[in-house]
Chains A and B, each alone.
Chain A
Amino acid sequence: MREALDQWDFVVAAYAVGLAGTLAMVAWSWLAMIRAERRREETRRP
């Protein structure tokens, strides 16, 4: 006999994948921007 699927397991998995991917992208983009702008400021110094 097949075991019934718990629908919440799929909901939680989808949200975990979606949130982790979105938050990682936002953090990575923000940090890359901060680092690049700091590098640019450093090249301005004589």
Chain B
Amino acid sequence: MHGFANPKRFLSLARWLTPLLMLGGLALAGVGLAWGLFLVPPDRLMGETVRILFLHVPTAWLGMGGWTAIAISSLVYLVWRHPLAALAARGAAVPGMVFTAICLATGSIWGRPTWGTWWVWDGRLTSMLVLLFLYFGYIALAQAAAREGVSARIPAIFGLVGAVNIPIINRSVVWWNSLHQPPSITTGGSAIDGVFLAPLLVCVLGFSLLFGGVVLARMRALLADLQAEARLRRRASEAAHA
């Protein structure tokens, strides 16, 4: 793992992996969404609105996956102090936040025709909204720490502490009464019919590749900013001593 954490090796890998993940993700997500939109029959209970599933579920998983990535990267940063781990955490924050926001928006749009309401303050929806606010806090904290030249330890600790919300989101529909349905896909199998499951898995894979591509792009941008800033500082210091 330390070998891949070398910035030079990371860049040589990320240069070809970033466009590959983005283009592959766009293609797969496009195919999955078109499949879900035009080829899947309406659901017996939810009718045509079942098509929102193919957008809502991948973004929900990646919203939670984004924070899990932040927590793991933060732990790696705190234990091994590797700066690339801090960049990985910052790189996962924006796509995680965007997917959480899309999940909340599509869920709300889905809720109106299915539940008869745009929003309810139940465990699942509220804990997902808390996740969005945690993303806002993490992004602001990480940007402030980078701008002030403060150690990335404070955002890393925030990233680890915030991870307590992930199992709460996951178990919320089991612990509390909710309008939201219980988990349909578990380690024990899937309650979703194969007609819906196949395009859903294509969408999950496509959006996951997109997520990976965006994380790499954001890491490359952060790394380039750091390297440019370090070079300018070194040049200014040399000019001052000349």
Contacts and interface: CB of A to CB of B under 8 A. Distances in A.
Contacts of A11: 37, 48-49, 51-52
A33 B217 contact: yes
A10 B113 contact: yes
A40 B231 CA distance: 9
- Interface hub of B55, B222, B224, B232 (most chain A Cβ within 10 A): B224
Contacts of A22: 29, 98, 102, 207, 210
Interface string A19-44: 10110011001101101110110111
B8 to A, nearest CB: 13
A36 B228 contact: yes
B117 interface: no
A1 interface: no
B159 interface: no
Contacts of A44: 231
Interface stretch (B69-77, B104-112, B124-132, B137-145): B104-112
Contacts of A32: 217-218, 221
B95 A8 contact: no
Interface string B198-226: 00000000010010011001101110110
B18 interface: yes
Contacts of B183: none
Contact of B214 (A13, A17, A29): A29
B231 A43 contact: yes
Nearest to A21: B102
How many of chain B's residues touch chain A, expressed as a range? 35 or more
A14 B221 contact: no
Contacts of B235: 43
B220 A33 contact: yes
B160 interface: no
Tell me if A's interface is mostly helix, strand, loop or mixed.
helix
Contact of A37 (B48, B56, B221): B221
B98 A33 contact: no
Contact of A14 (B56, B98, B210): B56
B86 interface: no
A7 to B, nearest CB: 4
A29 B94 contact: yes
B109 A29 contact: no
B224 A39 contact: yes
Given A17-B102, A18-B106, 14 more contacts: A10-B49, A10-B109, A11-B49, A15-B51, A17-B106, A18-B102, A21-B105, A25-B94, A25-B214, A29-B218, A33-B18, A33-B218, A37-B220, A39-B225
Interface of A: 5, 7-8, 10-11, 13-15, 17-19, 21-22, 25-26, 29-30, 32-33, 35-37, 39-40, 42-44
